[in-house]
């Protein structure tokens, strides 16, 4: 009996350590360039040794990908799952809520993709999810078209609601969150009108 308790206790400690490392990774990668983050800085923030971090994740890239997969993606999906299909304000509001949390990090990852080819697969999966989500969220608007016109509209809507469009409005044009929602809603309405 003591051995199974010991194993359970050990497994729980391992799980808590892993969660602590992921928390530190999200905090570190969230506001900085991937290149600027070291395993040592994440380990320090998590209160573990660099070797412990390496034992759990192997490399900085694997840590980053785990943080995205286990923390960022579920949060993004939770936000986007609130969408009311066909309601332009709801669609745009969900996208902007997502990007207000994850947009800066996503833009940084996109900028690094040429130098860090291992990020490409993650980014391609994100782009595929985004396209599928846009097509589901705006299905009533897309249903009015068939064939090439539908595909063209879907592509235009994907681009209108893409993170770099949000970045251009928020950062490039200096718009507030609400102004960004208004501009994106106007774009979507103009495209689907």
15-27 residue pLDDT tens:
999 999 999 999 9
* Residue 176 within any structural domain of the chain: yes
Q: How many domains does the chain fold into? A: 2
**CA gap 73, 109 in Å, rounded:** 14
User: Which residue segment(s) compose the domain that 189 sits in?
Assistant: 82-193
* Residue 15 within any structural domain of the chain: yes
How deeply is 24 buried, as exposed, middle or buried, from its count of CB atoms within 10 A (0-12, 13-18, 19+)? Answer: buried
**CA gap 91, 38 in Å, rounded:** 37
Q: Do 125 and 177 belong together in one domain?
A: yes
Q: Do 1 and 64 belong together in one domain?
A: yes
Residue 3 — pLDDT band, cuts 50, 70, 90? low
pTM for the predicted model, two decimal places: 0.86
**pLDDT tens-digit series, residues 28-55:** 998 899 989 999 999 999 999 999 999 9
Q: Do 61 and 89 belong together in one domain?
A: no
Q: Do 57 and 104 belong together in one domain?
A: no
Q: Taking 80 as the threshold, does the pLDDT of residue 2 lie above it?
A: no
**CA gap 113, 107 in Å, rounded:** 10
* Residue 75 within any structural domain of the chain: no
**CA gap 123, 129 in Å, rounded:** 10
**CA gap 8, 16 in Å, rounded:** 12
* Residue 74 within any structural domain of the chain: no
- Sequence-ordered list of residues with C-beta below 8 angstroms from that of 174, at least 6 positions apart, any chain: none
CA angle 184, 190, 191 (to 5 degrees): 90
């Amino acid at each position: 009996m003591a051995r199974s308790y010991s194993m359970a206790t050990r497994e729980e400690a391992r799980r808590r350590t892993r969660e602590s490392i992921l928390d530190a990774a999200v905090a570190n990668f969230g506001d900085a360039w991937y290149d600027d983050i070291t395993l040592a800085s994440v380990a320090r923030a998590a209160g573990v040794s660099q070797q412990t971090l390496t034992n759990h994740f192997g490399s900085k890239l694997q840590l980053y990908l785990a943080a995205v997969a286990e923390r960022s993606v579920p949060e993004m999906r939770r936000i986007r799952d609130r969408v009311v299909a066909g309601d332009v304000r709801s669609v745009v509001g969900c996208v902007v809520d997502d990007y207000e949390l994850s947009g800066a990090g996503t833009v940084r990852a996109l900028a690094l993709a040429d130098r860090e080819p291992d990020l490409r697969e993650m980014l391609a999966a994100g782009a595929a999810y985004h396209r599928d989500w846009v097509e589901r969220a705006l299905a009533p608007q897309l249903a009015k078209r068939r064939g090439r016109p539908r595909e063209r509209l879907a592509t235009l809507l994907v681009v209108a609601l893409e993170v770099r469009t949000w970045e251009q409005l928020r950062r490039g044009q200096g718009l507030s969150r609400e102004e960004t929602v208004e501009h994106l809603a106007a774009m979507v309405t103009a495209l689907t009108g």
